[in-house]
Amino acid sequence: MANRRTSPPAVKQSPSPASPWRASRERVREREVKREAVIRAAAHAFNRKGYHNTSLDDIAAALDVTKPTVYYYVTNKEQLLFECFVAGVEQIRAAFREVKQLKVTGRERLNGVLRHYGEAVASEFGWCMVRAEEQDLSPAMSGHIKALKSEIDQGIRRLIREGVQDGSIHPCDPKMTAFALAGALNWIAHWYRENQSMTGAEIADAFVTIFENGLRPRAATVSAARRATPRRAATSRQAATRAGR
């Protein structure tokens, strides 16, 4: 029941071009594409108008189809929200896995996760991930969501503890600090919209810099000269995180 992706392993190469299975596999793939389009349309609508103010007719209209068509791909509205949530959270879990490899200080690993976290929140699934309310979902799915959220929270706390241990993070209460950091990033979903002057990555960078420094002025080590080139940290990061640019 949980896994409805009944598609076979689905190798990419087609050994016999005229295989009678080709058309069938093509159909399965197209179905999955359409299904994902429904999820994305839902995320987009939830983003703009909120979960409760979005009807399935709205979502269907955005796809130029009718409501029963949407129900052909998902079982109900609740599941739609859940899938959006999972899509968003998966980006963050990936960030944790990625960072786990690196052998740097705890603070740097934490920063890496926070940057991905911020980007994910600013992405199209950010709203759903952040604002999926337990009250809006059945107990079963609410449990799933709470577990996933807790996993992320614990992961952040762990990174904080490790950073404090290795001296790269100022001594602090891991629980409260995790709440503060995650809260600031989560809130991005409330005010950020595409077509803003900054990208999600830029905002995440800015936040990480703020968290690092704190409000109280620093000694001369990091002087005001840093403000002129705040992108320094960013550029050195780009190569590390997403193997690119």
Count of residues that interact with a second copy, criterion CB under 8 A: 49
What minimum distance in Å lies between the beta carbon of 136 and DNA?
Answer: 11
Instruction: Name which position in 30, 133, 134, 166 contacts DNA (CB under 7 A).
Output: 30
Instruction: Name which position in 86, 188, 201, 234 contacts a second copy (CB under 8 A).
Output: 188
Q: Determine, following the binding rule CB under 8 A, whether residue 49 of this chain makes contact with a second copy.
A: yes
Instruction: Name which position in 7, 10, 14, 72 contacts DNA (CB under 7 A).
Output: 72
DSSP label at 215? S
Instruction: Give the residue with the Cβ less far from DNA, 70 or 152.
Output: 70
Instruction: Name which position in 210, 231, 235, 239 contacts a second copy (CB under 8 A).
Output: 210
Residue pointed to by tokens 């068509």: 69
Burial code (b: 16+ CB inside 10 Å, e: under 16) for 26-37 equals eebeeeeeebee
Q: How far apart are CA 43 and CA 219, in angstroms?
A: 45
Q: Which does 182 bind (CB under 5 to 8 A by kind): DNA, a second copy, none?
A: a second copy
Spatial CB neighbours of 23, under 8 Å, sequence gap ≥ 6 = none
The pattern of x and - marking residues 118 through 147 that bind a second copy according to CB under 8 A reads ---------------x-xx-----------
Instruction: Give the residue with the Cβ less far from DNA, 36 or 57.
Output: 57
Q: Which does 170 bind (CB under 5 to 8 A by kind): a second copy, DNA, none?
A: a second copy
Q: CA torsion, points 8, 98, 39, 186, in degrees to nearest 10?
A: 160
Q: Determine, following the binding rule CB under 8 A, whether residue 104 of this chain makes contact with a second copy.
A: no
- Segment 149-157 long-range contacts (CB within 8 Å, at least 24 positions apart): 149/89, 151/93, 152/89, 152/92, 152/93, 152/96, 152/182, 153/178, 153/182, 155/96, 155/113, 156/110, 156/113, 156/181, 156/182
Q: Determine, following the binding rule CB under 8 A, whether residue 232 of this chain makes contact with a second copy.
A: no
Instruction: Give the residue with the Cβ less far from a second copy, 25 or 144.
Output: 144
Phi, psi at 22, each rounded to 5°: -60, -50
